[in-house]
Amino acid sequence: MPPRMRSGGRLVVIGGDAAGMSAASRARRLRPDVEIVVLERGDIVSYGACSLPYYIAGEVESRDDLIVHDADFFRRERHIDVRIRTEAVELRPRERTVVCRTELGEESLTYDALILATGASAVRPPLPGVDLPGVHTLRTVPDGDAIRDRLAELGADVAAHGAVRATIVGGGYIGLEMAEALVARNARVTIIELLPHVLATLDPDMSDLVVRELLDRQVIVRTETGVEAFEPGDDGSVGWVLADGQRLATDIALVAVGVRPNVDLAKKAGIDLGRTGAIAVDPRQITSEPMVLAAGDCAESPHIVSGRSTWVPLGTTANKQGRIAGENAVGGDIRFAGVAGTNVTKVFGLTVAQTGLSTAGAEGEGLAPDSVRITASTRSHAYPGGGRISVKLVFDPGTGRLLGGQLVGVEGVAKRIDTLATALAAKMDVRDLAGVDMSYAPPFAPVWDPLLIAANQAVKKLSRERVV
């Protein structure tokens, strides 16, 4: 059962970003009588990390635009005691105590309920030279500042080779968004990916569509290539990337090989981790310690398709879990429905989206999926503009149950991926999807929406009969 918070009790939240501030704000709305303390080791709370590539590109002009609310806002408007530059260094669940460190030393803070919202950190592999100046990761606002500062420094000193040479290690969503951002800053970009294709959460045939767009934008893509070291240039900053025995000249490098959940605090306190390595929680966000909850990028989620625990570090998940943890920490009793891993991103002129399981993801869960892929127009043939969109549906060949979907196209992708996410939540099969009454108007969609075309192809594959 969730904690039963006494009047005048204290809720401590560790972590001041999406999950943490959502939790604290929800708890305050429900319980004005409870003391709420948020411990944040950095200087900034409640910021939009997903906007960092656009900040670097210059589309988001000011770092202030990244910050939703500062610590003073929460103290003044919501009466939440936000303590920045305060790091939690030890949990003592039996004593209901947090040991935290500030610039003035260590202190102990007791709690009636505790929420862990410690987030995740960018992976920085232990490669030679990875700590050289000019080798960056991107996770926080200071990371974004550092990359912008480096590009500004380089802008005045590129006469020798005509443009900034940028190397991105990792072909995931951050790597591809940053490729576009760096091209916008007049950089020549090379992406190095260890796996056979970029965007490993997509099936290879859909990933190939993205690679074509990257190549058309003069981005070099090197897959099945491992980085061995970073080497300094003449000024001591990174000047070379050693990859599969080749030395590639570079002025700036971004390591974008993923993130890992920040679970050390929980692990040392004896709190159970799940199969993914993130903190195990029940549907109420409660950990193995009854008075400790966890939410956001440090915690697992139930997957609505596989039914198993998964780890999906997305801002949408963090905000939802934080809200649930905040309510339950002060006596509520609500549950998190789970995730489908729905995501969407922009890669130059394409929008790329996914929800549910890919073919490989389904196979990894012990399923034997089937799939269809179609390419269709985004608008009526008589209406100008528009373009092509590719839709892939992954489904169970026995029951027809929809397992996942992927879309790559020039427009209309976000609209349609949300339709598929809704279908997954409703546990629809491809026959149900084929019968959905989708909107039609020439500026927005053809009379047969691409999702309907794909669903009908899946039904045809199931029945081996032509579906009109």
Q: Which residues are catalytic?
A: 50
d(CA 139, CA 151): 17
Which residues, 6 or more positions from 128, have their beta carbon under 8 angstroms from its beta carbon? 228, 229, 230, 231
**Residue 236 Cα to chain centre, angstroms:** 33
d(CA 123, CA 142): 16
Among the listed residues 41, 247, 210, 292, the one whose alpha carbon sits nearest the alpha carbon of residue 128: 247
d(CA 450, CA 453): 5
CB atoms under 10 Å from CB of 256, counted, come to 26
For residue 56, the SS3 value is: helix
φ/ψ of residue 458, rounded to 5 = -65, -40
- Helical H runs in 275-391? 315-329, 359-364
- Cβ atoms of residues 367 and 376 within 8 Å: no
Burial of 76 (0-12, 13-18, 19+ CB in 10 A): exposed
Among the listed residues 222, 215, 218, 162, the one whose alpha carbon sits nearest the alpha carbon of residue 192: 222
Here the tokens at position 167 are 């190397």
Burial of 99 (0-12, 13-18, 19+ CB in 10 A): middle
- Cβ atoms of residues 336 and 302 within 8 Å: yes
Here the tokens at position 353 are 């989206």
Q: Which amino acid is located at 428 in the chain?
A: M
d(CA 338, CA 300): 10
Beta strand pairing status for 252-255 and 135-136? parallel
- Cβ atoms of residues 188 and 164 within 8 Å: yes
